[in-house]
Structure 1
Amino acid sequence: MKKHILLLALSFISIAASSQNELPKLPTDISPLLVGEKIPNLKLKSVDNVEVNLSDLIGKKRTILVFYRGGWCPYCNIQLSALGEAEKELLELGYQIIAVSPDAPKNLKVTDEKDNLNYLLLSDSKGELSKAVGIAFQAPDGYKPYISDGSDGINTSFLPVPTVFIVNSNGEIEFEHITPDFKHRISTELLIAAAKSLK
């Protein structure tokens, strides 16, 4: 009898743990980090498949940290190009741009070359960073072939909600813009205005 109760208790614990690890079903159900909270220190991969420490990069200067869905997403490509056009002004304001997606390094390289980007693209194919900042959700079935191809088969289950954080060199979030409707992104004008206001 005691053994039966113990097994029952263990099964309830494992069910509770797995439900806590489950991603939100909808992009509107996410619980992102808030202004004042800190971006976690994780390792991501560069376009050259080299592991980089996010905190080391952020520690160099204020950062525009962008999360996008992948190089397969036309709305993301428009946003990445717009960031490229705004980069000179953001650099003059003392910022750097880092864009993160679930794409594998080789696919980041394709996006980098196609859009002729100067800023840093990083791979979060396992979703560790997207999940840690609270912007990952369960990818709808129709997107699974795209995310699987983009991540080289590593990601088959999640998408990040398009997000822009402005973080200081300590990794603290000073501004955030989160768009559950992936068709709408922050305008370059608003991003530059926010960056200026934080100087």
Structure 2
Amino acid sequence: MKNALLTFSFLFFSAVVLAQTEFPKTAMEISPLLIGEKIPNLSLKSADNVDVNLSDFFANKKTILVFYRGGWCPYCNLHLVALGESEKELLELGYQIIAVSPDSPMKLKMTDEKNKLNYSLLSDSNGALSRAVGIAFQAPTTYKSIVNEGSDGGNTASFLPVPSVFIVDVTGVIQFEHITPDYKHRISNDLLIAAAKSLK
């Protein structure tokens, strides 16, 4: 009986510790995938609330994979618009753009319509992809209500992705990455296009 109680206590303590350490506490503590590693094939929701597999997207052409905090973030919206301005040149280079956030499909649609975007927005509301890529961290307390509102309650873990841009090949292997823990700073179009050209 004593052994069973000790085992239960250990399992309970382990579960509590795991829950507390599910995400790094700050943007500076993340451990992202590296160049040469592969983005896992996970299923996400489109802005039309349809399940889509990343590998199906990647198989079409080389991809500019962007992670942003949400449509509520003004810096993210500026970046999404800037990406739209470079999309024509990136398309001519043989790339496509996919942007991922914790936002719900409904919120993605609102962001898409507001910014008049032509590329795909995908929902990672449970953080599975952001966590697997190693860029998710625990949302600061002051952000939790904003994050949960943006995800319509889907973002139950109250996480944020560190704004990131990956260039991946048709198999999902990372060829370039730009990760910015300071959310106010994003990769410039000039640098992104230069990187895309160098990998063409």
Structure 1 153/2 Cα, relative in aligned 2: closer, same or farther at 3 Å? closer
TM-score, L = length of structure 1 = 0.94
- Taking the TM superposition and a 5 Å limit, the aligned residue runs for 1:64-103 are 64-103=64-103
Structure 1 125/3 Cα, relative in aligned 2: closer, same or farther at 3 Å? closer
Structure 1 92/22 Cα, relative in aligned 2: closer, same or farther at 3 Å? same
- Taking the TM superposition and a 5 Å limit, the aligned residue runs for 1:57-68 are 57-68=57-68
User: 1:55 aligned to 2:66?
Assistant: no
TM-score, L = length of structure 2 = 0.94
1:97 alignment partner, SS class? strand
Q: Which residue of 2 aligns with 1:138?
A: 138
Q: Which residue of 2 aligns with 1:164?
A: 165
Once the two structures are superposed, what CA deviation does each residue of 1:34-70 show, in whole Å capped at 9, x if it has no partner?
1000001111111111111111111111000000001
Report the number of matched residues.
198
Once the two structures are superposed, what CA deviation does each residue of 1:142-185 show, in whole Å capped at 9, x if it has no partner?
11121111101111410000000000001000000000000000
2:160 alignment partner, SS class? strand
Structure 1 4/70 Cα, relative in aligned 2: closer, same or farther at 3 Å? closer
Q: Unaligned 5+ residue runs, structure 2?
A: none
Segments of 4+ moved more than 6 angstroms:
none
Structure 1 11/112 Cα, relative in aligned 2: closer, same or farther at 3 Å? closer
CA–CA separation in structure 1 for the residues paired with 2:115 and 2:7: 57
Amino acid in structure 2 at the alignment position of 1:175:
F
CA–CA separation in structure 2 for the residues paired with 1:2 and 1:121: 51
Once the two structures are superposed, what CA deviation does each residue of 1:72-97 show, in whole Å capped at 9, x if it has no partner?
10000000000000000000000000
CA–CA separation in structure 2 for the residues paired with 1:106 and 1:18: 28
Aligned-residue offset at 1:16 = 5.5
CA–CA separation in structure 2 for the residues paired with 1:110 and 1:15: 37
Amino acid in structure 2 at the alignment position of 1:66:
V
What's the % identity of the aligned pairs?
Answer: 68
Structure 1 180/2 Cα, relative in aligned 2: closer, same or farther at 3 Å? same
Over the residues paired in the alignment, what is the CA RMSD in angstroms?
Answer: 1.5
Q: Unaligned 5+ residue runs, structure 1?
A: none
Q: Which residue of 1 aligns with 2:199?
A: 198
Amino acid in structure 2 at the alignment position of 1:118:
N
2:90 alignment partner, SS class? helix
Q: Which residue of 1 aligns with 2:44?
A: 44
Amino acid in structure 1 at the alignment position of 2:80:
L
Structure 1 70/8 Cα, relative in aligned 2: closer, same or farther at 3 Å? closer
Once the two structures are superposed, what CA deviation does each residue of 1:8-32 show, in whole Å capped at 9, x if it has no partner?
544454455445x521111000000
